[in-house]
Amino acid sequence: MSDFLHNLKNVFINDDADKAENEEQVDATQLAQTADVNLVTDHENVVNVDAIYAQETALGLDTKHDIRVLDKYLAALPQTMDMATVKETLKNLLNVNSLSIDKLLADKDLRLDTLARYKSKDASESDALVAEATTKISELEKAIDELKKLISDEQKRELVQDEILKVETERLQKLTTYLS
């Protein structure tokens, strides 16, 4: 679909050049195939694309010339249709709805830029969070190692102390045998 969108303007302008493709069967569902980016996930704080676009309202996204309207148009077409008919139908739908191909493509470019900026910002924030957590884990592992050493040293000290007390107890027992 990506190539289709990039060439959409040229396809409609040069429609006669594509008459040879009339016999080619096109799966409209394949053309309309888009990633469902509003997935339900098990992850917290995952932002769907509509929310990302909403954060970018100052960007000037044109709600009338939203490139994603093509999804609806393509989904409404029969599942199997030749490419020329799909293109002509889309051209007519766009014309009837006063939609400009140039504005649709400009909207696509703005949305791609928005997603790229968000991805960069999100990756940067994620990297910082992971680095902070990794540092904290290292600090905690060091503290755990220190506590393990403390436990080991204390157990060794206790063994030595027990041996000293045992020897002294035996010595005192031995001395009292002389008194009885």
The pLDDT tens digits for 116-167 are 999 999 999 999 999 999 999 999 999 999 999 999 999 999 999 999 999 9
Please indicate, yes or no, if residue 39 is contained in any of the structural domains.
yes
Please indicate, yes or no, if residue 150 is contained in any of the structural domains.
no
Please indicate, yes or no, if residue 102 is contained in any of the structural domains.
yes
Please indicate, yes or no, if residue 108 is contained in any of the structural domains.
yes
H helix or E strand, kind and range, residue 136? helix 101-177
Choose the most confident range, by mean pLDDT, from 21-25, 63-67, 137-141: 137-141
β-partners of residue 27 are: 80
pLDDT for the residue 164:
97
Please indicate, yes or no, if residue 144 is contained in any of the structural domains.
no
Please indicate, yes or no, if residue 142 is contained in any of the structural domains.
no
Phi, psi of 168, rounded to the nearest 5 degrees:
-65, -40
Three-state DSSP at 68 gives: coil
Q: How many domains does the chain have?
A: 1
Confidence of residue 52 (pLDDT cuts 50, 70, 90): confident
The residue count of the chain comes to 180
d(CA 18, CA 11): 8
Tokens found for residue 158: 């206790």
- The four Cα atoms 159, 161, 166, 167 give a dihedral, to 10 degrees, of 120
Q: The domain containing residue 10 runs over which residues?
A: 2-132
d(CA 120, CA 117): 5
Name the residue among 9, 15, 1, 20 with its Cα closest to residue 74.
1
pLDDT for the residue 3:
44
H helix or E strand, kind and range, residue 127? helix 101-177
Please indicate, yes or no, if residue 18 is contained in any of the structural domains.
yes
Please indicate, yes or no, if residue 19 is contained in any of the structural domains.
yes
Mean pLDDT of the chain: 79
pLDDT for the residue 58:
61
